[in-house]
Amino acid sequence: MLSDYLSSYFNYLSIEKGLSKNTISAYRRDLIRFENYLIIVKKELKTLSEVDFPLYLAWLRGLNNEEFKIGESSIARNVVAIRNFYEYLAKEHGFINISTSVHPPKIPKRLPKALNLQNIDNFLKVTRTDRFALRDKALLELLYATGARVSEIINLKIDDLSKNDDFTSIRITGKGGKQRVVPVGKFAQEALDQYLSRSRPELVKVVTNKSMFLNNKGGALTRQSAWNIVVAQAKSAGIKEELSPHSLRHSFATHLLDGGADIRVVQELLGHSSVTTTQIYTLITIDKLRETYATAHPRAK
């Protein structure tokens, strides 16, 4: 059974590969989906051959499977999960790696969507006065001020915040444990000061808890709870655009480049290992330049 190898595999990913909890959770979901497929078609892991993988991909696309059909980007991640799993099986358990011929589908690059400045201003106006208002204000301001991922923000500790004269920065731990230091602007700094001095002391239950953002029980805020705060605030601000967990991150990068920031600086602030990843944001600004030129220049048309 495939499940016989999963426990040791996930330990391997965590200890030897150093993958994050979120990545391992995604692999877990993908491999459990693969195991369910094997149960449905009544096949065993050890009897599979290369010809079985195209059948599995067809199943993921909805062939005899309307209930569990998934999109191409999710299929691509499933393929990666299976290939990595087979590499492990070959290395640790003597399996023949029959996954080498299966390749992820090519996904067309989608330009990240950024909120415009007016929407950002509306979004960051938290007008509530409940006991979580200061926390939510600080969370939202920090997401936009730093371009951090939601998962990176909720993992922040009090000690990650640093103040030196008028300069405030925050130490963010990104993918693979890689750390970066990002400046915190005036608005986010003031929101954090208000939250840490007035709201967090009322939320914390255990003095030794160093998590920066706390829930109503005094524990660390979860990723889902943080995302719910983003969605609720967007609705309150009347924002119609569809948001993703990276919307504020995309906005951060796009607005920096629009303001003339060097792409290498933006790369460092976002924690991208390659500038190629950051360059997708330059396509957005080029589109904006074309649009502005087309509408503003008297001889553009």
| Positions marked active-site | 149, 175, 246, 249, 272, 281
Angle between helix 263-270 and helix 247-258 axes, rounded to 10 deg: 160
Report residue 8 CA to chain centroid gap.
26
Nearest residue to 148 via CA among 114, 115, 183: 183
Nearest residue to 45 via CA among 97, 81, 92: 97
Is the separation of the CB atoms in 112 and 250 below 8 Å? Answer: yes
> Rounded to 5 degrees, what angle do the CA atoms 256, 257, 259 make?
65
Report d(CA 195, CA 192) in Å as an integer: 5
Nearest residue to 281 via CA among 255, 242, 259, 243: 255
**Contacts within 8 Å (CB) and 24+ apart, 253-258:** 253/112, 253/114, 253/147, 253/278, 253/281, 254/112, 254/114, 254/281, 254/284, 254/285, 255/114, 255/117, 255/120, 256/147, 257/281, 257/282, 257/284, 257/285, 258/285, 258/288
Strands 167-173 and 161-164: antiparallel
The size of the chain, in residues, is: 301
